[in-house]
């Protein structure tokens, strides 16, 4: 009952938020585009804190995150196509605790659409997504010996999903889609298979299911872009309470031509990994360079 209540709360908050704003990683091809358009942005963000005989206390830290996003769009008549690569990696050195990872993402998305008719808000779509990480991830201090427990790594897990269905573009800011999809879970470290819903010794699992998604993006102030998006996957034959939920939010503010500030809030629910909701929040400022 607790799991159902948590899911209902998460979905309720998500759909209420869609009325105001919705996925930094989702591909939305502008209706006004004709031909190709490409963007490539690189970011380098950092933080540092130092304390010496400070009454309130504190821990010395220094950290940094590098990221890059390449996006390619195409539109001609009723056909449109988009491709995006999103890479992020960050570490922080914490006094007395060594170096720990703070961000890690490899994400590739491609999406093609064909409008049902000229000027229609409805389109057929086909999409492929791939997601994994660069380096090992740990739950610190969780091992039986008191050390760190490995919970993820390169291609452990990796997710490959394919989907097709109908998309509705309600206006230039908001769209939603529904379809059928396949979700492939890949684990290249045998010990981690049970952590992600695979049998011991198993390295690959495929599930078919129903996909739902929604995206909103808009400029909310001068040089400030807000994007938020939700993707869900419900495996056929599984309970609705085991629906995978991926909700991503980003506020990106441009201070000048080379400085920017970013706030990110991500929520996940994947019952294969945990019965609890996963949350991540990041605020960073640093250099932003348009490479293309």
pTM of the model: 0.84
Cβ neighbours around 243 below 10 Å, total? 20
- Where is average pLDDT lowest: 11-15, 202-206, 275-279? 11-15
Q: CA 32 → CA 73, 160, 244, distances in Å?
A: 11, 31, 33
Average pLDDT over residues 270-284: 90
Phi, psi of 51 (to 5 degrees): -135, 140
Residues 232-259: tens digit of each pLDDT: 999 999 899 999 999 999 998 888 888 8
Average pLDDT over residues 80-101: 92
Residues 54-63: tens digit of each pLDDT: 887 888 999 9
Is pLDDT at 8 greater than 60 in this prediction?
A: no
Phi, psi of 64 (to 5 degrees): -155, 155
Q: CA-to-CA distance for 29 and 175, rounded, in angstroms?
A: 11
- Where is average pLDDT lowest: 65-69, 146-150, 272-276? 146-150
Mean pLDDT of the chain: 86
Average pLDDT over residues 104-120: 94
Compute and round to an integer the Cα radius of gyration of the chain. 20
Q: What is the pLDDT of residue 171?
A: 86
Cβ-proximal residues to 155 (8 Å cutoff; 6+ apart), any chain: 132, 186, 187, 188
Q: What is the pLDDT of residue 26?
A: 63
- Residues 29/33/34/38 CA torsion (nearest 10 deg): -70
Q: What is the pLDDT of residue 147?
A: 82
């Amino acid at each position: 009952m607790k799991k159902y209540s948590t899911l209902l709360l998460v979905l309720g908050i998500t759909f209420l938020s869609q009325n105001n704003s919705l996925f930094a990683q989702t591909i939305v091809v502008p209706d006004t585009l004709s031909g190709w358009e490409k963007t490539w942005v690189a970011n380098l963000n950092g933080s540092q804190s130092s304390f010496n005989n400070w009454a309130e206390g504190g821990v010395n830290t220094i950290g940094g995150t590098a990221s890059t996003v390449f996006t390619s769009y195409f539109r001609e008549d009723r056909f449109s196509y988009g491709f995006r690569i999103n890479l992020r990696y960050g570490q922080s050195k914490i006094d007395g605790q060594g170096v720990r990872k703070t961000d890690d993402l490899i994400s590739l998305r491609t999406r093609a659409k064909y409008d049902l008719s000229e000027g229609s808000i409805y389109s057929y779509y086909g999409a492929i997504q791939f997601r994994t990480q660069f380096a090992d991830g740990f739950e610190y201090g969780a091992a039986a010996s008191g050390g760190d427990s490995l919970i993820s790594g390169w291609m452990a897990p990796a997710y490959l999903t394919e989907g097709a269905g109908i998309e509705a573009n309600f206006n230039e800011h908001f769209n939603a889609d529904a379809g059928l999809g396949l979700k492939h879970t890949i684990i290249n470290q045998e010990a981690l298979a049970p952590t992600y819903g695979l049998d011991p010794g198993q390295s690959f699992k495929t599930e078919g299911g129903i996909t739902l998604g929604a995206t909103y993006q808009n400029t909310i102030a001068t040089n400030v872009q807000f994007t938020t998006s939700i993707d869900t996957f419900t495996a056929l034959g599984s309970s609705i309470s085991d629906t995978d939920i991926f909700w991503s939010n980003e506020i990106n503010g441009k201070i000048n031509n080379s400085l920017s500030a970013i706030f990110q809030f991500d929520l996940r629910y994947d019952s294969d990994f945990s019965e609890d909701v996963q949350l991540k929040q990041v605020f960073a400022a640093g250099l932003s360079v348009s490479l293309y």
